[in-house]
Amino acid sequence: MRWSEFEAGQRAREWFHGLTAPVGQWMVVRVDGRSFTRFTEERFDKPFDAGFSRLMVETAQALLTELDGRYAYTESDEISVVLDPRHDLFGRSVEKIVSISAGIASAAFTHTAGTPAHFDSRIWLGASADDVVDYASWRQADATRCALNGWCYWTLRKAGATRQEATRRLERTSAADKNELLFQHGINFTELPAWQRRGIGLWWADRSRVGHDPVRGVDVTTTRRELHVERELPMKDAYRDLVTRLIGEGATPRHPVTAG
Ligand SMILES: Nc1nc2c(ncn2[C@@H]2O[C@H](COP(=O)(O)OP(=O)(O)O)[C@@H](O)[C@H]2O)c(=O)[nH]1
Ligand SMILES: [Mg+2]
């Protein structure tokens, strides 16, 4: 067998390498912490820890930057990054996008936390901006559901319930009854920090600043692209409107713009 044939045979066994996301579709890359129930157990406050949230925001920023995303959203141990349909990142190769995004998240989180942690990754596809808005609503509803459940679970545990007792108490309990359970323990769910109930959004925003140019002796306005981290996201229709605006046409110039 000639070397070139052998080589081609080996390449052909890289079976999934040719798999690409369809051109023109919106992609959302979602990474999720691997075994974070155990990872967070000994290290962070329950159900929510501001330090853990900061690590997730740092990780989301790394993903938004490296993947050149339009919008990133984080809740619990997951991060979603919306990619433009014209995005040609890694030739839209599924293997590349999934493995590199998991690598970026794992490296950024580990670097900031100083403890090794791993993320998995997957790609969601949408045909339209409306689909992306539905996706965003879905993840935010998940954030609210998990926050309510997490607060109930840890309130019961802190009141002395075992793992099984707390889990059983919350099975088949409606959202209204969970709110009531918290209320009886002196917690008003609607008054808990918004970032816990609604998640955190990140996007690039143009910021104008007036400075003085000492050489020319004139005031100059500079505009530069800065990361915006929103810990007070709106919800439901107002959140849908925000995401619609953020992923709208022309929302993301690739590089910072400077005007004189
Ligand atoms: N202690 C703590 N745990 C958190 C926090 N945010 C998320 N988690 C936990 O991270 C886990 C995420 O869920 P999931 O991905 O389904 O679990 P995994 O498969 O173990 O990673 C849940 O057990 C959450 O309670 C936090 O701020 N503090
Ligand atoms: Mg996880």
Ligand 1 contact, 33 CB (< 6 A):
yes
Q: Which helix (H) or strand (E) holds 51?
A: helix 50-66
Q: Supply the pLDDT for residue 87.
A: 85
- For atom 22 of ligand 1, which residue has the closest CA? 37
Report CA-CA distances (Å) from 127 to 16, 28, 167, 239: 23, 11, 38, 20
**How many CB atoms are located within 10 Å of the residue 252 CB?**
16
Shortest-distance atom of ligand 1 to CA 41? 1
36-46 burial: b if 16+ Cβ within 10 Å, else e: beebbeeebee
Ligand 1 contact, 44 CB (< 6 A):
yes
pLDDT string in tens for the chain (260-residue length) = 899 999 999 999 999 999 999 999 999 999 999 999 999 999 999 999 999 999 999 999 999 999 999 999 999 999 999 999 998 889 999 999 999 999 999 999 999 999 999 999 999 999 999 999 999 999 999 999 999 999 999 999 999 999 999 999 999 999 999 999 999 999 999 999 999 999 999 999 998 889 899 999 999 998 999 999 999 999 999 999 999 999 995 544 443 323 32
Q: Supply the pLDDT for residue 182.
A: 98
- How much is the pTM? 0.92
Domain ranges for the chain:
3-196
Q: Supply the pLDDT for residue 250.
A: 54
Instruction: Give the β-pairing of 26-33 and 78-83.
Output: antiparallel
Residue carrying the six token digits 């439901």: 236
Q: Percentage helix, strand, coil, to 5, in the chain?
A: 50, 20, 30
- For atom 27 of ligand 1, which residue has the closest CA? 48
Fold of 3-196: Alpha-Beta Plaits (3.30.70)
Q: Supply the pLDDT for residue 249.
A: 59
Ligand 1 contact, 40 CB (< 6 A):
yes
Ligand 1 contact, 150 CB (< 6 A):
yes
Q: Please give the distance, rounded to the nearest whole angstrom, from the Cα atom of residue 40 to the centre of ligand 2.
A: 10
